[in-house]
Amino acid sequence: MRNEGERPGLLIAALAGVLAGAVALGVAELAAAFVRPQAAPLIAVGGAGIDLTPEWLKHFAIRAFGTHDKQVLLGGLAAGAAVFAALFGVAGRFRRAAGAAGFAAFGLLGAVAALTRPVAGPADTVPVLLGMIAGIAALFLLLSLAPAAGVRGVDSDAGRRVFLAAAGGAAAVAASAGTLGRVLTSRRDVAAARRAVRLPAAAKPAPPLPAGADLRVPGLTPFVTPNKDFYRVDTNLVLPQVDPEQWTLRVHGLVDRPFEISFAELLRRPLEEHDITLTCVSNEVGGPYAGQARWLGVPLAGLLREAGVRAGADQVFSRSADGFTVSTPLPAVLDGRDALLAVGMNGEPLPVAHGFPARLVVPGLYGYVSATKWVVDLKVSRFADDRAYWTRRDWADHAPIKTMARIDLPKAFANIKAGRVPIAGVAWAQHRGIDAVEVRVDDGPWRRARLAPVPNTDTWRQWFLEWDAAPGNHRIEARAIDGTGAVQTSQRAEPFPSGASGRHSTVVTIT
């Protein structure tokens, strides 16, 4: 053991710790390319974190960061890891075993996180554990080469050069292992397999959109949401890569004739096309988490009837390739609505982010109880027996989409010239339909907006009203009336546990 005077300075020790941490993450990333990307340490810990996050925080994250919430989470984890690695470096300066213990503790934590991810096997712990060993080795090496603090002279200059070379080497190992890992992982993605898919034409195509379904008002949400603009909500830090050649769907549970179907077999069935607007339960009043697409797929009810649903069943319990689960009330699937096992979205195979090669779409229900992406398993079962990812976390078992009118125009806090001002937006009440949208300014009388035509009751509906705007600050409020005659409630509710309610309003300044 060296005496105190020969120990490296605190900053050098911290640097050694951070570099050792980077080596650990880089090596683990490379190893994960050979296991599965979900087994990389930050992804595994982040995934476990998402599953353990309390509901209120999850909502805060989705609201505050939008679809960037995942990058924010991973960036935060990386920064946290760097701080701890620096501390372990400093600890290692005093006692090598203390620094190693820090790395070992994080390695074990990461291994547990990786092991407890859905569909993980023992192999999922290998990348983190290899990373941990590499990190400890790098820490020992760097600390032993680190120049002692306060020593000057020819010897120490040579020593400093050796340390700098070792530090540069560690950084290079970390960066190249990490980059190679990323490249190898991306080689396994299914983008090429997706491009090779040729979807057959629908046996039952959707009728053309009625003329004027899109009012084409600049600034108004288009009727069809292009795939690239479609909101994405899921628990995945890395997208599941499901090869259609390997994909099968198992239909089983409380059925007389369980069966399994391949992707090729699925495409040989008569496909139907339906226009359906998806909505996330986390959407705030006026929020962006809704999108309209033309879906191509096989009717879900037909698949279940083929299997022969037994008495006593009350839900379809679906599972994705990565172990996410959804419970859908059975009546909603069998009551004649256009519930689909979808393979196409707006004329293309499903984008990977939206469930390639197959997902569920059930009109009228929020996504968390209906829209399983990367679906591989349908179990007919009972709510009493199988609990799904979100309903286990106390979100509602039954979650029909609430009637909602959103104001897209004018934009909130806009400054507009007095005169004729367009007020416009979209309204939805999937499977009940929108019968009217009413608008009022400054608590004046409700006025009916003009409604665009819609293909069916399962889509949102554009609405438009011209307003003779006089100078001043004004508050614009909208409400929808659904196909049952029910007026959108003014009662405010948070998204948890069954969807936000209340009326969207917007404040503008007219000059």
Ligand X SMILES: Nc1nc2c(c(=O)[nH]1)N[C@H]1C(S)=C(S)[C@@H](COP(=O)(O)O)O[C@H]1N2
Contacting residues toward Mo ion, per CB under 5 A? 233, 280, 367-368
Give which of ligand X, Mo ion, none residue 373 binds (C-beta under 5 to 8 Å, depending on kind): ligand X
Binding of residue 235 to ligand X (CB under 6 A): yes
Binding of residue 361 to ligand X (CB under 6 A): no
**Residue 222 CB: number of other CB atoms within 10 A?**
15
According to DSSP, the β-strands at 505-510 and 447-448 are unpaired
Q: Of all residues in this chain, which one has the CB nearest to Mo ion in the complex?
A: 280
Q: How many angstroms separate the CA atoms of 382 and 339, rounded?
A: 19
Give which of ligand X, Mo ion, none residue 371 binds (C-beta under 5 to 8 Å, depending on kind): ligand X
Give which of ligand X, Mo ion, none residue 184 binds (C-beta under 5 to 8 Å, depending on kind): none
- Among 182, 232, 398, 440, contact with ligand X (rule: CB under 6 A): 232
Q: Say which amino acid occupies 106.
A: F
The strands making up 450-451's β-sheet, listed across from edge to edge, are: 404-409, 419-428, 461-469, 450-451
Binding of residue 241 to ligand X (CB under 6 A): no
Give which of ligand X, Mo ion, none residue 235 binds (C-beta under 5 to 8 Å, depending on kind): ligand X
Binding of residue 59 to ligand X (CB under 6 A): no
Q: How many angstroms separate the CA atoms of 177 and 140, rounded?
A: 19
- Burial pattern 66-103, b for ≥16 Cβ within 10 A else e, equals eeebbeebeeebeeebbebbbbbbbbbbeebeebbebb
Residue 285 CB, nearest approach to ligand X (Å): 16
Q: Which residues contact 305 (CB under 8 A, 6 or more apart)?
A: 334
Residue 361 CB, nearest approach to ligand X (Å): 9
Q: How many angstroms separate the CA atoms of 421 and 220, rounded?
A: 13
Q: For ligand X, which is the closer residue by CB, 53 or 235?
A: 235
According to DSSP, the β-strands at 505-510 and 415-416 are parallel
Binding of residue 113 to ligand X (CB under 6 A): no
Binding of residue 230 to ligand X (CB under 6 A): yes
Residue 450 CB, nearest approach to ligand X (Å): 29
Which range, of 78-86, 188-196, 366-374, 492-500, touches ligand X by CB under 6 A? Answer: 366-374
Which range, of 157-165, 267-275, 370-378, 426-434, touches ligand X by CB under 6 A? Answer: 370-378
Residue 269 burial (10 A CB sphere; 0-12, 13-18, 19+)? middle
Q: For Mo ion, which is the closer residue by CB, 160 or 232?
A: 232
Give which of ligand X, Mo ion, none residue 506 binds (C-beta under 5 to 8 Å, depending on kind): none
Q: Say which amino acid occupies 55.
A: E
- In angstroms, how far is the first alpha carbon of the chain from the final one? 78
Q: How many angstroms separate the CA atoms of 502 and 511, rounded?
A: 29
Give which of ligand X, Mo ion, none residue 325 binds (C-beta under 5 to 8 Å, depending on kind): none
Residue 324 CB, nearest approach to ligand X (Å): 4
Q: Say which amino acid occupies 443.
A: D
Residue 401 CB, nearest approach to ligand X (Å): 10
Residue 119 CB, nearest approach to ligand X (Å): 12
Q: How far is CA 139 from CA 96, 144, 156, in A?
A: 9, 8, 20
Q: For Mo ion, which is the closer residue by CB, 21 or 367?
A: 367
Residue list 166-225, contact with ligand X (CB under 6 A): none
Q: How many residues does the chain have?
A: 511
Query: What x/- string results for residues 296 through 335 when contact with ligand X is judged by CB under 6 A?
Result: ------------------------x---x-----------
Residues of the chain by 3-state class (helix, strand, coil), percent to 5:
40, 25, 40
- Among 280, 300, 307, 449, contact with ligand X (rule: CB under 6 A): 280
Binding of residue 373 to ligand X (CB under 6 A): yes
Q: 171 with 19: CB under 8 angstroms?
A: yes
Q: For Mo ion, which is the closer residue by CB, 266 or 365?
A: 365
Residue 68 CB, nearest approach to Mo ion (Å): 17
Sequence-ordered alpha helix ranges (H) in 116-153: 126-145
> Shortest CA distance to 387 belongs to which of 332, 324, 331?
324
Q: For Mo ion, which is the closer residue by CB, 147 or 355?
A: 355
- Among 277, 346, 372, 498, contact with ligand X (rule: CB under 6 A): 372
Residue 462 CB, nearest approach to Mo ion (Å): 23
Angle at CA 439, nearest 5°, toward 435 and 443? 140
Q: Of all residues in this chain, which one has the CB nearest to ligand X in the complex?
A: 367
Q: How many angstroms separate the CA atoms of 228 and 351, rounded?
A: 9
Q: For Mo ion, which is the closer residue by CB, 125 or 225?
A: 225
Which range, of 46-54, 74-82, 91-99, 233-241, touches ligand X by CB under 6 A? Answer: 233-241
Q: How many angstroms separate the CA atoms of 136 and 85, rounded?
A: 11
- Among 278, 333, 401, 465, contact with ligand X (rule: CB under 6 A): 278
Residue list 335-354, contact with ligand X (CB under 6 A): 354
Q: 407 with 505: CB under 8 angstroms?
A: yes
Residue 263 CB, nearest approach to ligand X (Å): 17
Binding of residue 374 to ligand X (CB under 6 A): yes
Residue 280 CB, nearest approach to ligand X (Å): 3
Helices (H) and strands (E) in the chain, counts: 11, 19
Residues that bind ligand X (CB under 6 A): 230-235, 278, 280, 320, 324, 354, 367-368, 371-374
